[in-house]
Structure 1
Amino acid sequence: MSGADFQARARSLRARFDALADAEPGLRVRTMADRLGVAEVELLAAQCGDMSADRLDVRPLDLFRELGQVNEFMAVSRNPWCVHERTGRYQDVRIEGQIGVVRGPDIDLRMFFAHWDSVWLVAQTGRRSLQFFDHTGTAVHKTYATPNTDLAALQALVARHGAAAPQWPMLRAPAVPMLADRPDDPQGLRAGWLALRDTAQFFPLLRKYQVSRVGALRAVGSDLAQEVGAQSLERLLTQVSLMGLPVQCFVSNRGIVQIHTGPMYNLYRAGPWLHVQDERFNLHLNVLAVASAWVVNKPSQDGWLTSLEGYAENGELIVQFFGVRQPGRSEPRRWRDLLVDLCNEPLAC
């Protein structure tokens, strides 16, 4: 695309963006991208609204290694139905090949960099952020400066890599895995499930039997996975909030899993959204988007692990909750009792 074509495309998108913003003030950027039929990263390339954005000349995984130098950020990962925000430092960053982990006391992530494509420095309404996008132009992860961010270190990090030459994002259609809704060998799937010793073995198990997550839950047996009412998510969060019971909350998209470990105190409902607004952790969950909820039992070397999982109409995972436990110890009885109470049939645990 020539420079003139780039500018013409950017002007056209800015005009459409401004018209939508005038007609419906207050829409979030991701919603505006959906309404305009473009990818969110294209709004950055066009410098829409009050956004000033520069694509950095660095691979996302290489920049990620350096985030710990900038003190505190607010880490944000989301899917279409749930947003997970955690404030802290990017500590203990480890990357091997295309897989990365962050295991700090506040920010806890699992990254799958094969899906990541570009990183942008964005300034909007006086707030600076680094935003990471996948090959479809969808945000994988964003990290926002806070009052405790070392802005000089952030500027030095950005300056080391510099801005890439302006170009319109080259987007790809999302890769949709061809997974069956029913396994060909449900007995084999169940046997493999019962042989699990670590939750990390679950994804290879699904790939081995070429079955979707919900398809596996339906097939494996009610003692291992039991569907409960979709309203169970709100019921459970209300209970753990009132009890002050620590939980692990997992929110993911194709490129990342973001984890909160701890209590969730300030819980409230606003329209379809259930919100947690705590000092260092925020969660925004569209409970009306939860088409099914499941209590799931998986064996491990430390005993049974029990989770509550919410799924969208298309079968995609929205959110997972586990009990908090120390390595080598079983899950808390109070947590397990809450989930057992949701079930109509006995669980394997």
Structure 2
Amino acid sequence: MTTDTISLKTRWSDFRQQQPNVRIRDAARQLGVSEAELLVTGVGETVVRLAGDFRELLREVPTLGYVMALTRNDVLVHERKGVYEKVSLSNHMGLVLGPDIDLRLFMQRWQWGFAVNENDRRSLQFFDAQGEAIHKIYLTEQSEGVAYQTLVTKFRADDQSEQLTVDAPVGKSDDTADAAIDVAGFQAGWLAMQDTHEFFGLLRQYGVGRQQGLRLAPEGHARLLSLDVLKQVFATAADRDVSIMVFVSNAGCIQIHTGPVKKLVQMGPWYNVLDPAFNLHLNETLVGQVWLTKKPTADGLVTALELFDRNGQNVALVFGERKPGKPELESWRAVIADAVR
């Protein structure tokens, strides 16, 4: 699907004049295109197309110094400031394992890259084949501007056209009917887990969707909650200074915050964490379900909140801070227990 860029450029310009405060992702939805298709209309002005191996580009991101990493989906925006450290990449997977910037990268989804200058706010932005945003890296006042320009020059594409051919959106596959699933086997597998990372393989083994799996969980190991309980968990964790982990994901990236949350602010339909190094923006109108889950590990039960959008897609996970080899924080369990009474 190739965009009529000239027509779209005019429509995008008119839209910004009429609705200057609408973010580009929301504008793209209203205009019936992807965010990448809107962005590419700025090539030659505010946008530079990037090319080459994005794994090599990511290996050089630490030279930018202190930046802001942004990963989002339709429901949540996760923004974390820090330095990219311990960057490692294979053919399809990537890791960034710094104390501040903590990422899991699924490189087969990284199709397009752009350097963007929005009113002197410079960034690197990456998109999948459907034109959906995967990950963005914004310079801060403490970033290395010369290193940014060096990186953009090195990975600048020869093709600086405004044409972009995107794939059609991928439809969600339907879950297998409950009656066709070995529920007893699935539940036994759940109770036998030694690591939370085994859960994805368990779902695949039994052909179970993630949200469906929570519904079919062993008794006492998954519970449907209200969004208000999630907000109470954040508020209690903030009051008690309990360190938490917040995972926000899309098809190409998982971004993780580990640490306390402090400043919680409601702004219309958006529930926000507005701390100096960590911002989270949750659009309450797009949340489908919130689940409390308990999964066995070699270190004992691990308790989490799992958020799903209205299409049943898992969009976020919230844990107490933990590391393999150590049991879950009792302070986190107390936060959960007090919130779900």
Q: What's the counterpart of residue 125 of structure 1?
A: 119
85-94 or 286-295, which deviates more: 286-295
1: CA distance, partners of 2:45 / 2:308:
33
Q: Is the 8 A contact 1:233 1:310 kept in 2?
A: no
CA distance in 1 between counterparts of 2:323 and 2:214 reads 26
- Does the residue aligned with 2:218 lie in a helix, a strand or coil? coil
Partner SS state of residue 55, structure 2: helix
TM-score (norm 2): 0.94
- Tell whether the 8 Å contact from 2:271 to 2:281 is kept in structure 1 after alignment: yes
Supply the distance in 1 between the matched residues of 2:226 and 2:172 (Cα, whole angstroms): 27
* Residues in 1 aligned to 2:140 and 2:109: alpha-carbon distance in whole angstroms: 27
**How big is each residue's C-alpha offset from its partner over 1:105-144, in whole Å with a ceiling of 9 and x where there is no partner?**
1000001111110111111111110001001001100000
What residue identity is the alignment partner of 1:151? G
Structure 2 partner of 1:173: 168
How far is 1:51 from its partner? 6.5
TM-score, normalising length: structure 1:
0.92
Describe the SS at the equivalent of 1:44: helix
Which of the residues 38, 47, 50 maps onto 1:43? 38
5+ long unaligned stretches in structure 1: 345-349
Deviation of 1:172 (Å): 1.2
The Cα of 1:338 is off from its aligned counterpart by 2.3
Post-superposition shift, 1:343?
A: 4.4
| Equivalent of residue 206 in structure 1, options 203, 207, 211 | 203
Q: Cα offset for 1:340?
A: 3.1
Give 1:61 deviation, angstroms: 2.1
Which residue of the other structure, out of 225, 228, 239, is the alignment partner of 2:222?
Answer: 225
CA contact (8 A) 1:182 1:219 kept: no
Conserved? CA contact 2:247–2:254, under 8 Å = yes
Provide the C-alpha distance between the structure 1 equivalents of 2:117 and 2:135, rounded to a whole number of angstroms.
16
Residue 17 of structure 1 aligns to a residue whose secondary structure is helix
- Residue 56 of structure 2 is matched in structure 1 by 62
Q: Which has the higher contact order (CA 8 A, sep 6+)?
A: 2
Alignment of 1:69-218 (within 5 A): 69-167=63-161, 168-176=163-171, 178-180=173-175, 182-183=177-178, 184-218=181-215
1:281 — aligned with what? 278
CA distance in 2, matches of 1:213, 1:327: 23
- Report what 2:268 is aligned to: 271
Compare 332-341 and 83-92 and name the one that shifted more.
332-341
Deviation at 1:291, TM superposition (A): 2.3
CA distance in 1: counterparts of 2:182 and 2:330, whole angstroms? 33
Residue 259 (str. 1) matches residue 259 (str. 2): no
- In the alignment, the residues of structure 1 paired with residue 339 and residue 207 of structure 2 have an alpha-carbon distance, to the nearest angstrom, of 29
Structure 1: how far apart are the matches of 2:299 and 2:218?
A: 22
Amino acid corresponding to residue 314 of structure 2 in structure 1: L
How many Å separate the matches in 2 of 1:190 and 1:342?
Answer: 26
RMSD: 2.0
Partners of 2:336 and 2:285 lie apart in 1 by 21
Matches within 5 A, 1:333-344: 333-343=330-340
**CA shift digits 1:300-340 (9 cap, x unpaired):** 11111100112122111232110012431101112112223
